[in-house]
Amino acid sequence: MSTVLVTGADGFIGSHLTEYLVRQGHQVKAFVLYNSFGSWGWLDHCAPDVRGNFEVFAGDVRDPHGVRTAMQGCDNVLHLAALIAIPYSYHSPDTYVDVNVKGTLNIVQAARDLGVSKVVHTSTSEVYGTARFVPITEEHPLQGQSPYSASKIGADQIALSFHASFGTPVAVLRPFNTYGPRQSARAVIPTVITQIAAGKKQIKLGALHPTRDFSYVGDTVRGFVAAMESTAAIGTVTNVGSGFEISIADTVRLIAAVMGQEVEIVCDDQRIRPENSEVERLFASYSKAREKLCWEPELGGLDGFQKGLEKTAAWFSDPANLARYKIDLYNL
């Protein structure tokens, strides 16, 4: 088994990925954001069978020296570290360039110099903007409708340019809207679940008409590992999604049904994106992932989505987990 560096290992998807890799027998180095509290993010709460079985490197992807130090001795790099909150990118876009674009540059530059076997760079379905055709294939035009998505387009192109220019073995994985346990409440599904779990009958939300392709975190994690293990992914972009779209309004209704509650949706103006910045429709084609990576979602379609919501709602409804969220605050 290989030695794998996971950047952003302290976050939502990164912590799940770290656990999965450890259970698969890989030597894992978890790159977490340095802070004075000594916090490892969600890795502080990882499963007992995983705890103590991975190495932690505290640093910052914006620092090229720290990145190079962390990467030494690693065969593969799964690069998830990024700023991802869209509303926050409206008033602090410079930070997104530093973390997402320059951070990615530091990763691929170090990988090139150190001869790393594979870098899997994390993209996002937001780079497609509002769908011009569906299902969205990897050939869909890129549209930066927010500073966040623009920074991720830049990061993706930096990563791919190192493959084109220097032969650096880079694969770009493009997950559609991932959800599941540990996700930040800035995302719509945890926003709804935490409000219902806290006993709210009126659920505050933004736009209800956009559609999304929601992917359970376990499926996204398997996508990363498939991309890491496949030579066919090198130099290309690969979507991972559920192949199913649903509106935000219908998502709320399904969550309420899963949790056995009746709720009223209240529009909260501060949660509304600027008109031309809202991505109206996302619906993935994952045919390339199926053909090239032998990957497909285990929780795809409406039935899979309902099963994923049941798992997610059960985790958030645990009082110990719910207590970690500030339910009465709007999270940017």
Q: What are the pLDDT digits (tens) for 32-43?
A: 999 999 999 999
What per-residue confidence (pLDDT) applies to 41? 98
Note whether residue 278 is domain-resident. no
Q: For 256-269, write each residue's pLDDT tens digit.
A: 999 999 999 888 88
Q: Which residues pair with 28 in a beta bridge?
A: 4
For 231-260, the pLDDT digits (tens) are: 999 999 999 999 999 999 999 999 999 999
Residue 119 · residue 168 · CB < 8 Å? yes
Percent of the chain scoring above 70 in pLDDT: 100
- 141: containing domain: 3-178+214-240
Q: Report, as an integer, the average pLDDT of 109-124.
A: 98
pLDDT 10s digits, 8-59: 999 999 999 999 999 999 999 999 999 999 999 999 999 999 999 999 999 9
Summary mean pLDDT of the chain = 96
Mean pLDDT calculated for residue range 67-74: 98
CB neighbour list of residue 324: distance below 8 Å, 6 or more residues apart = none
Longest Cα–Cα distance in the chain: 56
Q: Hey, what are 116's tokens?
A: 């790393």
Residue 272 has a pLDDT of 84
- Residue 269, pLDDT score: 81
Q: Is residue 286 part of a domain?
A: no
pLDDT value of position 329: 78
Residue 331 has pLDDT above 80, yes or no: no
| Residue partners of 29: CB distance under 8 A and separation at least 6 | 3, 4, 5, 6, 54, 55, 56, 57, 70, 74
Q: Which token pair is 113? A: 């110099």
- Tell which residue, 60, 38, 64, 42, has the closest CA to residue 51: 42
Residues 121-173 have pLDDT tens digits of 999 999 999 999 999 999 999 999 999 999 999 999 999 999 999 999 999 99
Stated as kind and residue range, the H or E segment containing 255 is helix 248-258
> What pLDDT score does 189 carry?
96
**Is 130 part of any domain?**
yes
Count structural domains, the chain.
Answer: 1
**Structure confidence at residue 330 (pLDDT):** 78
Looking at this protein, which amino acid is placed at residue 293?
A: L
Question: Is residue 63 in a domain?
Answer: yes
Domain assignment present for residue 116? The answer is yes
pLDDT in tens, 285-323: 999 999 999 999 999 999 999 999 999 999 999 999 999
Query: In this structure, are residues 188 and 258 in contact, taking their beta carbons and an 8 Å threshold?
Result: no
Residue 267 is assigned to a structural domain of this protein: no
Instruction: For residue 115, give the CATH number of its domain.
Output: 3.40.50.720
37 lies in some domain: yes
